[in-house]
A and B are shown apart, each in its own frame.
Chain A
Amino acid sequence: MSLARLIELTKTYVMGADVVVEALRGINLSVEEGQYLAIMGPSGSGKSTILNLMGCLDRPTSGRYILGGEDVSDLGDAALSEVRGRRIGFIFQSFNLIPQLTALDNIEVPLFYQGVHRRDRRRRSMELAERIGLGPRARHKPMELSGGEQQRVAIARALVNDPLIILADEPTGNLDSKTGKEILALFDDLSSRGRTLIIVTHDEAVGRRTHGIVRVADGNIVSHEKN
């Protein structure tokens, strides 16, 4: 059974009285456990919309989204928040760390909303900070960290709730190529440990490191290549 299945998924945005944007026109995609997929396509092709729907940040206009055996297409706002907090790990292009929190506190945010005790949160975040090689800089605030370090914190945060699936949106887009490679090496490592990863990217070199590339154009999946 697939870990995540998108069935005939559509998404239309009503922008005005008679302006309707069809962002997705019936997507079918199946993600197996431990798969490492890249979603590629030009801007406006709908790849971010796919990621938002897979991340339960948005609901499809029609079609089904089955995540971990549960149909989450019609869940309410609170239930979707719960799903995001427990089953999804997000990594963003612009890191999206909370500026007033230290790296450790940032890593703990998902656990905070699951009501995990402070001591357990701290133990888990320290463990992850160690694993991503943050070391003594874990008590610094994002402003005091380099881009690479910030993205490592974001990766640790995406792992902290032990999610079913990790969704990364252009994770190397704001990094220089050397740092980008380090981050990608971290992704390879996660994949080799059995994590399920979906990565949205423009970069063919990034796509080649994955198990397969899903190409999107005009709200449709145009090809699904295996590497």
Chain B
Amino acid sequence: MLSLKSTEILRLGVANLLVHPGRSVLTMLGILFGVCAVVATLAIVEGISLKMQEEVLKMGATNIIVAARKPAESQSASTGDQGHALAYGLTYDDAERIQSSIQGASVIVPARKIPVTARYLTRRNRVEVFGTVPWYTETYGIEVTQGRWLAPLDLKKMDNVTVLGSSLAVELFPHEEPLGKVIWLGENAYRVIGVLAPRGSGSAGAGGEDFDHVAYIPLTAASRRFGNVILDRSVGSHSFEMCELHEITVKLKSAEQVRPAARIITGLLEKFHDPKKKDWEVQVPLDRLDALERTKWLFVVLGVSIAAISLLVGGIGIMNIMLASVTERTREIGIRRALGAKRRDIVSQFLVETVVLSTLGGAIGVFVGVLMAWGIPWALARVAEILKVGGEAALSNLSRTVVTPGAVILALSASIFVGIASGVYPAYRAAQMDPIRALRHE
């Protein structure tokens, strides 16, 4: 289509831009900032998204979590009615039914959660007692820093042993060695056999559970010592609850099995639980990943729209300068036309200039954007340090940014597009000039 070899036109364009290097650089800035904004925004969104994905994956992508939920109408029934215990939640029968119906489930972990007060000497602490089974660790990657995790024998013997979450261990034993010490969980004494590494609070979709402020005990011990009735005095007025199991985690061998299995479990629970009083919930972490993906795209679209405005302004800047340049070079256009340049030669000459400008601006913008993406977490960490802000949680989502090839390609193609779009009109104006008048132009 072009009558000249493209390298020749490119060389000519670059030469013309170098005639006014300062002007060219200033013209580029708009695109540079726009592209820089695109790259940095996408890097931040990608970083947040990855971090949230990791947190969901902590719950296990091949897991299905069946959780007990207090039915909605139970609130009024329980308060003030002390003689009547609210019965709800999952049962051991449910666990057995799930076990027998799901093929390919590698582990099934039942669990109970009981809120109690933990005491050691004079120190007390509201904690959640988590009655579970030794194979809990196979579903959730748990790391023991001191002592050991619950053993099958502990379960069988209904031993009063406990493994402490990391922050609970520090609160109860700020100075002492926790291993072998005896603490009180509610009415009973338990021997500390292990301490876990910090697991972090599942801020992203894990229901805000604090995994570190938990005392783990054998499930058998939990039902024996605490019974199935739980007296909760935490909110002034007390209420009774009856709940065999609070949670059943089903671990499958592969992610493809998760959704069919979740349907089977939902079916089972619908069949055996009162449909008017839904007291259970099936959580699929994999579904949360999908929801996360959608949220991420929302932010991508938002971020890119804002950056697009900057690119638009940059494009208008280029167009403005090019229109001025076309007027300024009217005579040159006339000369070139007289010496044999066709209209399309003139069009390509000016288009090449805008595209070179915007592409170069885009390339530098990508570079600066990558630097920014790299610098933002670092700068935030420094700011947090200086201000002594403990709000790590708030900043932790920005602790990592990821520049994807897709973001770079998007930014570069956007800048090339802006170059073409902003160059078309000035180039057209230049090409439409009458050569005779252009030659006379002073």
Residues of chain A whose beta carbon lies under 8 Å from any beta carbon of chain B: 52, 55, 57-58, 77-78, 81-82, 84-86, 90, 92, 96-100, 109-110, 112-115, 118, 157, 161
State whether A85 and B5 are in contact (beta carbons under 8 Å apart), knowing that A57-B435, A98-B335 are contacts in the complex: no
Q: Are A113 and B339 in contact (CB under 8 A)?
A: yes
Are the CB atoms of A81 and B439 closer together than 8 Å?
no
Contact status of A81 and B341, CB under 8 A, knowing A96-B331, A96-B335, A109-B335: yes
A71 to B439, CA, bound (A): 25
Q: Contact partner of A157 among B19, B339, B345, B435, CB < 8 A? A: B339
Docked CA distance A57–B435 (Å): 7
The docked-state distance in angstroms from the alpha carbon of A55 to that of B245 is 98
Knowing that A96-B439, A112-B8, A113-B345 are A-B contacts, what are 4 other residue pairs whose CB atoms are under 8 Å apart, sorted by A's residue number? A84-B339, A86-B340, A92-B439, A118-B8
Which chain A residues border B8 with CB–CB below 8 Å? 112, 118
Interface pairs (21), CB distance under 8 Å: A52-B436, A57-B337, A57-B338, A57-B436, A77-B342, A78-B343, A81-B337, A81-B342, A81-B345, A82-B340, A82-B342, A84-B339, A86-B340, A90-B339, A96-B439, A97-B335, A99-B332, A100-B16, A109-B335, A110-B340, A161-B340
Q: Determine whether the beta carbon of B439 is less than 8 Å from that of A58.
A: no
Closest to A55 in B: B338
Give Cα A146 to B343, complex, Å: 32
Min CB distance B153 to A, Å, is 87
Interface string of B309-353 (1 = CB under 8 A from A): 000000000000000000000011011111111111100000000
Residue of A nearest to B344 (CB): A78
Task: Indicate if the CB atoms of B332 and A84 lie closer than 8 Å.
Answer: no
Residues on B with beta carbons closer than 8 Å to the beta carbon of A82 = 340, 342
- Say which residue of B332, B338, B341 sits within 8 Å of A90 (CB atoms): B338
Question: Quick one: given A58-B436, A98-B332, A109-B335, are A115 and B4 in contact (CB under 8 Å)?
Answer: yes
Chain B nearest CB, measured from A105 CB (Å): 9
Interface size on B, residues (CB 8 A): 25
What residues of chain A lie closer than 8 Å to B337, measured between beta carbons? Answer: 57, 81, 84
Contact A113 B340 (CB under 8 A): yes
For the complex, give the distance between the alpha carbons of A110 and B336 in Å: 8
**Residues of B near any A CB (own CB < 8 A):** 3-5, 8, 12, 15-16, 19, 331-332, 334-345, 435-436, 439
Residues of B within 8 A of A97 (CB): 335
Q: Across the A-B interface, how many residue pairs have beta carbons closer than 8 Å?
A: 68
Cβ A77 vs Cβ B339 within 8 A = no
B residues in contact with A92, CB < 8 Å: 439
Question: What distance in Å separates the Cβ of B430 from its nearest Cβ neighbour in chain A?
Answer: 14
Whole-angstrom distance between the alpha carbons of A113 and B8 in the complex? 10
B219 smallest CB distance to A (angstroms): 83
Q: How far is the CB of A53 from chain B (nearest CB, A)?
A: 10
Tell me the bound Cα distance from A77 to B345 in angstroms: 12
CB contact between B3 and one of A55, A90, A100, A115 (< 8 Å): that residue: A115
- Rounded to whole Å, the gap between the CB of A173 and the closest CB of chain B is 14
> Residue of A at shortest CB range from B342?
A81
Chain A positions within 8 Å of B345 at CB level? 81, 113
Residue of B nearest to A95 (CB): B335
CB distance from B427 to the nearest CB of A (A): 16
Are A85 and B339 closer than 8 Å at their CB atoms?
Answer: yes
The one of A81, A96, A98 that contacts B340, using a Cβ cutoff of 8 Å: A81
Which residue of chain A is the closest to B335 with respect to CB atoms?
Answer: A96
User: Which residues of A lie under 8 Å from residue B5 when comparing CB positions?
Assistant: 115
Question: A36 vs B5: C-alpha distance in the bound complex, in angstroms?
Answer: 37
Q: Within the assembled complex, what's the spacing in Å between the Cα atoms of A22 and B284?
A: 87
**A114 partner residues in chain B, CB cutoff 8 A:** 340
Cα A161 to Cα B331 with chains together (Å): 21
- Chain B residues, CB < 8 A from A115: 3-5
Give every chain B residue within 8 A of A157 (Cβ-Cβ): 339
Given contacts A52-B436, A115-B4, contact A78 B338 (CB under 8 A): no
Name B338's closest neighbour in chain A (CB-CB).
A90
